[in-house]
Structure 1
Amino acid sequence: MEVHQLEALRAVRAHGGVTAAAAVLHLTPSAVSQQLAALQRDAGVPLTRRVGRGLRLTPAGEALADAAVDVAVAVERARAACAAFLDRPEGTVSVSAFQSGAQLLLPGLLARVGALGGIALECSDEDVAQGDFAALTDRIDVVVAHRPDGAGPWSGVPLRVVPLLREPLDVAVPLDHPLAAEERVRPGDLAGEDWITVREGFPVAGVLDAVAARAGRPPRIVQRINDFHVVAALVAAGHGVSLLPRFSAGPHPGVRLVPLADVAAGRRVEALLRPDRAERLVVRRVLDELVALAREVSGGPTPAPRGA
């Protein structure tokens, strides 16, 4: 069994088909199919089965894909053991973040990593639905993701999850709104308001659902917009209220952020990594800087890393 064949099997499991796996691996679908065929001949049992237009792993394929993670981790640990003897590890590390997280963290991270020398950061913004963050780790070394308080574990692929910070979500109201003078608001105070919120499936939407449940009535959603700067402009103009993150939304002269009481209103910002890439020394250096930066931004300690 070859390492690249096991990698192909993992990619097919994560992305549900040969074509999608090929795009992540920068190969042709034919090349991925050939690698799977060779791996199956070596294993001696069927590893995949056709489901509609996609490809799913058999129980044997699932077991081998799990074992492939251990193989990839072992290979990267071996490389890291050698890299530890370098005076200054060098390499390129890719980092992505959802848009408001990118605004909050990427400028400082670039400065911190630049001061280390020898490490080039390739940054991108990836604002995807909550269920799609984990799959990004197949092509990006460090994925900065977010999920609401109380959300279940990340799923889809094996992950190392590193907590960065918890960001409260406050109620954004225009300055002339009756609630703008309050120190905090409760869900019941928001009954009957017009809401501007993110698209369905995105993390902040789940927090609004919790607020509505405590208020005892569904929210009246008038607009769905993911860009928090646009949301703030609409709130300031009197088109509705919203939930905005306290650290990353940025101040707006026409908006007051009021803390929300009686409900866990916040999102957890975390770094997601494939277990093998988390072993790379240059990735670990970048991750250390990211954790330190998040602690600085939030003004508090960062919890210990955990699994998916």
Structure 2
Amino acid sequence: MIDLRRLEILRELDRCGTIAATAQAVHLTPSAVSQQLAALSREAGTAMLEPDGRRVRLTAAAQLLLSHAHEVFTHLEHAESDLAAFRRGDAGTVRLGSFASAVSSIVVPVLRTVAERSRLQVYTVEVQPEGAADALLGRSVDLALTLSGEPPTADDDARLHVEPLLTDVLDVALPVGHPLAAGPAVDLADLADEPWIVNIPGTPCWQVAVSACARAGFTPRVQHRADEFTGVIALVSAGAGIALLPRLAQDVLPQAPVVLRPVAGVSPVRHIGVQYRAGTAAQPHIAPVLTALREVCAALARCAPGAQRQRLTAVATASA
């Protein structure tokens, strides 16, 4: 019989890449990790590791075993859900990962809603969207808000599930006195010769901005890059360029001499979702937080936050 703990160590090695990183993730010494994997090889009747320069890599047999292990651990998650439902407890701790611009509009109302309905303790952890999967698989969070420039598709990893929650529209931010600030909306094609302020390459907002400009027939002339929206808004207010700002972030930004106008035609959007480990959505301590997330995002879709009084687009979701 294959030991589940050793199988979990093998899964962590596949995720972490090195014995040292795996040891840190599973709270063992590197020597103990090697011993456990050697024991797993004996149990399986074939080697799990092979040399790869100064490191090791998983053998084909180990990859085959892992393909079954993912299903095994998902079934165990379901078993935990059933046991937790049997106990019918409503107390516990849930760790919710969130990116910064969702805290005010989404996370805070979720905390308030959960506190009104149960004795659950929800702890928030700042997790960048690109780190959500690792945070979930490493069990540092139970739920993670995701952010992408494209709608969520079928799950790439069978161990995780992502559920769409909301699409967040981006508006054009212009300095006061800009010739296009007087109109009700801005055609992006009219901004082709403007200096642009964008987020760091590879981030969802950068992806949305570049794609929107491409649809309008041009490549933005990027003059400034900023990771935080406070920096973006400061640069726009100083007349250093124009930018696209998501509506969820607009109300938490400092007051600045900036004009916000919707994009004419098809609005650029970023897609917000929630990701969790497969088999955990029905667990009694997870389900109430998921329900609150869905409700808060539905409310945002009906009435977007703040003075902009813009409309967000709801995403129809099915209960997990």
- TM-score, normalised via structure 1 length: 0.87
Alignment correspondent of 2:226 = 225
Alignment correspondent of 1:190 = 191
Paired residue secondary structure (2:145) = strand
Q: Residues 168 and 134 (structure 1 numbering): CA distance in 2 closer, same or farther, change over 3 Å?
A: same
Q: Which moved more, 1:297-306 or 1:109-118?
A: 297-306
Superposed displacement of residue 202, structure 1: 0.8
Deviations along 1:157-216, one digit per CA (max 9) or x if unpaired, are 731111111101111112221221222222311111111111111111111221332343
CA distance in 2, matches of 1:52, 1:147: 36
Amino acid at match of 1:91: G
Amino acid at match of 2:316: P
Paired residue secondary structure (1:173) = strand
Supply the RMSD in Å over aligned alpha carbons.
2.6
CA distance in 2, matches of 1:213, 1:22: 45
Superposed displacement of residue 263, structure 1: 4.9
Contact 2:155–2:161 under 8 Å retained in 1: no
Alignment correspondent of 1:249 = 250
Q: Which moved more, 1:208-217 or 1:285-294?
A: 208-217
CA distance in 1, matches of 2:67, 2:203: 29
Contact 1:192–1:220 under 8 Å retained in 2: yes
Q: How does 1:4-43 map to 2 (within 5 A)?
A: 4-43=5-44
Paired residue secondary structure (2:193) = coil
CA distance in 1, matches of 2:151, 2:98: 21
Q: How does 1:1-308 map to 2 (within 5 A)?
A: 1-51=2-52, 55-127=56-128, 130=130, 132-138=131-137, 139=139, 140-149=141-150, 155=156, 158-250=159-251, 252-263=255-266, 265-299=268-302, 301-304=314-317
Superposed displacement of residue 142, structure 1: 0.6
Structure 1 spans left out of the alignment, 5+ residues: none
Paired residue secondary structure (2:285) = helix
CA distance in 2, matches of 1:28, 1:136: 21
Superposed displacement of residue 217, structure 1: 3.3
Q: Residues 41 and 301 (structure 1 numbering): CA distance in 2 closer, same or farther, change over 3 Å?
A: same
Superposed displacement of residue 107, structure 1: 1.0
Contact 1:92–1:121 under 8 Å retained in 2: yes
Amino acid at match of 1:136: A
Q: Residues 153 and 77 (structure 1 numbering): CA distance in 2 closer, same or farther, change over 3 Å?
A: closer
Amino acid at match of 1:218: T
The number of residues matched between the two structures is 305
Paired residue secondary structure (1:90) = coil
- The percent of aligned pairs where both chains have the same amino acid is 34
Paired residue secondary structure (2:197) = strand
Paired residue secondary structure (1:204) = helix
